[in-house]
Structure formats: C-alpha cells, structure tokens
Amino acid sequence: MANPVEQFKIEPIVPLEIGGVNVSFTNSSLFMVVAVVLATAFLTLSVKGRALVPGRWQSMAELMYEFVANMIRDNVGTEGRKYFPFVFTLFMFVLFGNLLGMIPYTFTYTSHIAVTFGLAIVIFIGVTIIGFARHGTHYLRMFFPHGAPLATAIILVPIELISYCSRPFSLAIRLFANMTVGHIILKVMAGFIIMLGIAGIAPMVFLGGVTVLEFGIALLQAYVFTILTCIYLHDAIHMH
Amino acid sequence: MGMGIRVGVELIAGIAVGSLIGYGLDRWLGTKPWLLLVFFFLGAAASVLNIYRAVHGLDDSVGLGQAQRRKRK
C-alpha cells in the first residue's frame, strides 16, 4: 500500500541556494504558480467579452467577485472597499490551492503549515498595523471589556492579548489540518480498495462520499479564511 | 468534525502562544522560570476563552464584549 503521507513530500524541481538559504523551486512553488496563473487566466479570459448578458464563464467570474464583495460589505462596511483586491486575491489563492489539490497527482500547497501560517501572519500583522495606524494607542483599549472593574485589567488584558495573538496560529492550523486530514483519509481509503479486491466496492462507495465532502471542505475553508480576514479588518477599521 | 478540529486547535494554540510569550520574556528579562509559568496559565485561560467563543458561535472580533455585541446585532 502506498504511503499516505508521501503526497505531502516537498521535492525541489530547480535546486537553488542564495546566501546559504535554500530557495529551491519546489513542487509546492510550482503549484502556487499554477494556481496564480489559472486564477488570472480564469478571471481575465472570462470577462474578456464584457457581455451585458453574461455567458457561463463570465457569470462564474461575476459570482466570485460578488461573493467576496458582499462579504466585505456585510462584514467590514463600505470603508472596506479599498481592501477588496487583497481579500479577493487571498480568497482565490486559497480556493485554487484547495481545489487543485483535489485533482489526482497534484500537490496541495495549503496542506503545508508553512504556507498557511505565512498567509495568516501576513493578515495578522497587516491588520494590526492598520488598526494602530488608524487609532494609535487607542487600539489597545479593545483588549479591555466594557464595564469590567478596572482592577481586573491586570488579568483580563493579558488574556485578551494572548487570545488575539493566538488567532493566526489557530487560523493557519485549521486550514492546514483540514486539508491534510482530508487527503490522508482519501489516500488510506483508496489503498483499502486495492487491498480488498472485489470486496473493495464498500470502501469505494465510502470514498465517493468522502470526495464530495472534501470538495465541500475545500470551499468552506477558503470561505472561513476570507471571512476571518474580513472580521479582523472590521475590528481594525471600526473601533467601538 | 469541523467543530472538533476547531476546539482542539484553539486549546493548543492559546497555550502554545502563551508559553512562547512567557519563554521569550524570560529569556529577555532573565527571570526563568516565573514568567513562563504565569503566561502558561494566562495562555490556558485565553484558549478556554477562545473555545467559549467558538462553541457559542461568536466570531473572532477583538475582545469578548465586542464579539457578543456583534452576535446580538
């Protein structure tokens, strides 16, 4: 039976080293490039016609645009419009990473914590900078709940602060864990089909269901990642 | 499964971040091991706070009070 975690192995395609740091072009980088190229091609080619009555491809692109635009309007408000390019790029990058991974023989870059944590920490640091730039030290007031006695600040503020700092970790681990677990389950189940021969029909039926579930999770995780970005942005922009 | 992963991750993340901050401060201020101990428990409290938020369907707004206000809205 094939090793179920072998699919996550990073293999350098173009070995490269700059200043003692390994910056090889790996299979992970390759699929990131593929995702970016596909997303760009999908969006530019589908709206090329600029039809008033959108065709199939154009309505798909418009659906994505409106989905993210509504998400920003509902969660951040009209002031969030200028962050739309960033949020939309993030959504497409995670979504294409998750969906590309569902094609057999591809590599799922969102199943690596280095990638998801990199994305999460960029969001976290960016949002914190926006918050401090807009509100100055006033932003720190958010960490103290309204109406609590002042004497409790010494314990409440550190707890809220740690809760705030643990957010990029939880965001990154959630995306990574969901993708990794799903792919391992798929691989193990597929191994059972081969091993059981004719009786393999049972795991095969199960595998069909799990594959559908995995597509659902791929979409859901991209959504979760994006909506959390919107919520952080909302907090950084509107301070109550 | 989603909620299970969420709660498990929150539990680890809070404690890990708290301990990491404590360890960093300890190394910086040379007060081994006291700040690590203090921040371990603060981290544990933060992770319970995050789990409380997750199971009550509150979002990830900064500060518990604000998350509750947004939920009511």
Give me the helices (H) in A76-152, please.
84-100, 113-135
Residue B55 CB neighbours (<10 A): 12
**Of A7, A13, A49, whose CA–CA distance to A30 is shortest?**
A13
Is residue B73 predicted with pLDDT exceeding 90?
no
Are A158 and B39 in contact (CB < 8 Å)? yes
Q: Is residue A169 part of a domain?
A: yes
Residues 6+ apart with CB under 8 A from A105: none
**Of A35, A48, A155, A159, whose CA–CA distance to A94 is shortest?**
A35
Residue to test with chain A: of B41, B62, B69, most A Cβ within 10 A? B62
**Of A109, A132, A104, A102, whose CA–CA distance to A219 is shortest?**
A102
> What is the model's pTM?
0.85
Structural tokens at position A47: 């709206």
> Which residues face A17 on adjacent strands?
A22
Contacts of A214 in chain B (CB under 8 A): none
Count chain A–chain B contacts defined by CB atoms under 8 A. Answer: 84
Q: Is residue A68 part of a domain?
A: yes
Q: Is residue A229 part of a domain?
A: yes
Contacts of B25 in chain A (CB under 8 A): none
What is the predicted pLDDT for the residue at B32? 81
How does DSSP assign A174-200, residue by residue? HHHHHHHHHHHHHHHHHHHHHHHGGGG
Is residue A240 very low, low, confident or very high in pLDDT (cuts 50, 70, 90)?
low
Q: Is residue A1 part of a domain?
A: no
Domain total in chain A = 1
Is residue A76 predicted with pLDDT exceeding 90?
no
CA gap B42, B8 in Å, rounded: 18
Residues 6+ apart with CB under 8 A from B53: B59, B60, B64, B67
Residue of chain A minimizing CA distance to B10: A170
Choose among A170, A217, A234: nearest Cβ to B13: A170
CA gap A46, A57 in Å, rounded: 5
Give tens-digit pLDDT for A35-63.
999 999 999 988 887 777 788 888 899 99
Cα–Cα distances (Å) from A153 to A56, A65, A156, B50, in that order, read 56, 43, 5, 18
CA gap B54, B60 in Å, rounded: 9
Please tell me the total number of residues recorded for chain A in this structure: 240
Looking at chain A, the whole-number percentage of residues with pLDDT higher than 90 is 32
Is residue A101 predicted with pLDDT exceeding 70?
yes
Residues 209-238 of A with CB under 8 A from B: 217, 220, 228, 231-232, 234-235
What is the predicted pLDDT for the residue at B1? 62
Boundaries of domain holding A145: 6-237
What is the predicted pLDDT for the residue at A134? 87
Is residue A15 predicted with pLDDT exceeding 80?
yes
CA gap A159, A156 in Å, rounded: 5
The residue among B3 and A62 whose pLDDT is bigger is A62
Residue of chain A minimizing CA distance to B54: A170
